[in-house]
Amino acid sequence: MSISTADVIITSPGRNFVTLKIVTSDGVVGWGDATLNGRELAAGSYLRDHVASALIGRDEDRIEDTWQYLYRGAYWRRGPVTMAAIAAVDMALWDIKAKKLGVPLYQLLGGASRDKLRVYAHASGNDYAALSQAIRGYVDEGYTAVRIQTGVPGLDSVYGVSATAKPGEKYDYEPAHRAADGSAATRPEEEDWDTPAYLRHVPSIFEKVREEFGPELRLLHDGHHRMSPIEAARLAKSLEPYDLLWLEDATPGEDQEAFRLIRQHSTTPLATGEVFNSVYDYQTLITERLIDYVRSAPTHTGGITAMKKLLDFADIYGIRSGLHGPTDVSPIGMAAALHIDLAIHNFGIQEYMPHSDLTLETFRTSYTFDRGFLHPGNNPGLGVELDEDLAGHHPYTAAYLPVNRLLDGTVHDW
């Protein structure tokens, strides 16, 4: 048997997704996710114009060989576009193999290491009253872990904070902006940022959260790469009394040695990696134990094959998983993460931003949520199928993440 066709589908049921459909000569279909927020057409073109033709006629069972063929054979290695494309192929081939054997994918990764997967929710608010209400809603739903993001006094908007949700409404934050009328964006929006105000404000918010919700609720916070190493060390130290599960992306992750400075000043656990795309981005961080959680998504890190190797490497050093699970990873990519989570020994926690109803009509899923925990389901393969007819009704519409500027106008990390 061999690969017969490889087609790329870009659809936008509420937001943009890049999906690879591989069909074998005996009619088995495999699905892969290559979504790259704000650069979807680049990932789609890489797959359609450079990868798809190279797959035709290849043995679909040779997953490792195909991974190495695409990674090494292109000469230009790594990078988000390349690794998202490889990830899509890899997911689709694992999906096909598990379907042919009639088992859920996690059974091919060693079987289940646990019965369910703890997830964390995103709670945010421009002020503490709104934030508290959001947290309370998630606690009532059974969540035992919540990411805390807050507005900053003096700033009109803050990346990661929903300013539009009304009391009682589900948190539904989409950071990639379209035009005000919903049409395609032509360039990113720009937002102001003030690091000193942020550093003054955040510890007081966590103090209030702990006072209201007690010591048992697991709390997380995302710094979105905005701090210098010494600023990150200051924040990590100031948050120690509030016992965070982790402080994420405190400083730009590509400067791996910067994490040494944070470690010297604080015992707050650290997580990073959602903008990484290979094991080499983590090498120093893992071998020197400078982080506690790996934050990549299979979609952006070469797929299931590469992610499993990365997490096995991290396990040697006592580092756990905290895989990226935003709404700009499609349900296919989310399912891939859940199957890995269930199988690996060093699972930590899984990020979970539920997709919109429109997305879930287009991508039919078998994973389930119950009182703060997920399970990938027991359907053969990944357990996600794209409804191509519905996908065709939602054409690509350009959307971009915002760009941050300091108050003096300097472009800054978001």
Specify the residue for token string 């809603």: 137
Residue with tokens 């070469």: 302
Could you give the 3-state DSSP secondary structure of residue 45? helix
Q: Indicate if 224 belongs to the active site.
A: yes
3-state secondary structure of 247: strand
Q: What are phi and psi of 193, to 5 degrees?
A: -145, 145
Partners of residue 218 on adjacent β-strands: 145
Active-site choice (46, 71, 120, 159):
159
Active-site choice (122, 221, 224, 375): 224
Q: DSSP characters for 204-236?
A: HHHHHHHHHH-SSSEEEEE-TT-S-HHHHHHHH
> What does the alpha-carbon distance between residue 395 and residue 389 come to, in Å, rounded to a whole number?
12
Q: What residues pair up with 10 in beta bridges, in sequence order?
A: 18
DSSP 363-414: EEE--EEETTEEE--SSSBTSEEE-HHHHTTS-----B--EEEETTS-EE--
Buried b (16+ CB within 10 A) or exposed e, 295-322: bbbbbbbbbbbbbbebbebbbeeebbbb
Residue 222 φ then ψ, to 5° = -110, 120
Q: Pull the structure tokens for residue 174.
A: 């989409």
| Assigned token pair, 173 | 């934050």
Among the listed residues 11, 27, 5, 22, the one whose alpha carbon sits nearest the alpha carbon of residue 87: 22
Per DSSP, the residues of 268-285 read: S-EEE-TT--SGGGTHHH
Q: How far is CA 45 from CA 12, 71, 389, in A?
A: 16, 17, 21
Phi then psi for residue 36, to 5 deg, are -135, 105
On whether the CB atoms of residues 317 and 289 are closer than 8 A, the answer is yes
Structure tokens at 61: 């069972």
Q: Is 400 one of the catalytic residues?
A: no
Please give the full DSSP string across 90-113, using - where no structure is assigned: HHHHHHHHHHHHTSBGGGGGTS-S
Catalytic residues, which ones? Answer: 159, 224
